[in-house]
Chain A
């Protein structure tokens, strides 16, 4: 009680420790594991990142011409950085310090759709390739 009394009175007459966040900036520290940034120009489409991603926040959909398209869902990502470590091409996937913005329902990627599409297109692509090989 005595110790707390001292501390309480001290707090009353000293400046609060609160960071007034929305008014004052409170940036993440250096090395914070934030968003994954993808650079398509460097990508070799090895899909290693898709394979290692635990929640499946990275998906590649196959276009008809065999090209792959990168999809990333920051609202599913757990920001572990495993994809960055798995990426064989340095600089293709990088983890920046910024976090994703809170979003309303319209801004969330339709991830169920993308998942289904990725799976379907992959199956289609593989089937076609197998046919071609035959």
Chain B
């Protein structure tokens, strides 16, 4: 039996707010509420990265949140997709280039789906999640890495070491 097609039927979500204005967060909450009811798609808000398939990120990545975001990303088992919800998560939005902000989520972790809007409508979020499900079905089970994390050829991937290495890269400015 092709197991891949069941990924689509039971995606569990993890939601992390990296510095948003709560607008998109409450829209995600509203999505779980009766009117939109994401559970129709088998979606559960697990709140636990180890059992989640979709990471919903809202907000521009603030300096303090970036490390947590990376940690959560590495704790999620593959295959997984990342959905950036709202203008801030996509590109930084109105907070673009503020001093404590690293702009969009894609500067820290690879993003698969961008959902626009300020705040994103529940319909848009559902659209984004549905789009993410299509991507999820095609994903491989290899460990995904942010673009700035380079691994030499043939090295055996160790999740904890990779995390430490990525943390080193994003915190490089911290030490100087």
Residues of A within 8 A of B123 (CB): 21, 26, 28, 99
User: Which listed residue, B40, B96, B127, touches A56 by the CB 8 Å rule?
Assistant: B96
A residues contacting the other copy or chain, number (CB 8 A):
30
Closest to A23 in B: B40
Question: What's the interface size class on B, roughly?
Answer: 20 to 34
CB distance from A80 to the nearest CB of B (A): 8
Known contacts A54-B94, A55-B96, A102-B131; decide if A77 and B126 are in contact (CB<8 Å): no
**A-B pairs under 8 A by CB, number:** 89
Residues of A within 8 A of B126 (CB): 21-22
Which of B31-39, B50-58, B63-71 lies on the face that meets chain A?
B31-39
Question: What 1/0 mask marks residues of chain A from 19 to 46 whose CB sits below 8 Å from any chain B CB?
Answer: 1111000101000000000000000000
Closest to A111 in B: B91
Chain B CB within 10 A, most for which of A22, A55, A107: A55
Q: Which residues of chain A have a CB within 8 Å of any CB of chain B? A: 16-22, 26, 28, 54-56, 73-80, 99-105, 107-108, 111
Known: A17-B35, A18-B35, A104-B114. 14 other contacts (CB 8 A): A16-B34, A21-B36, A76-B92, A77-B118, A99-B121, A99-B123, A99-B124, A102-B115, A102-B124, A103-B113, A103-B116, A104-B131, A104-B135, A105-B114
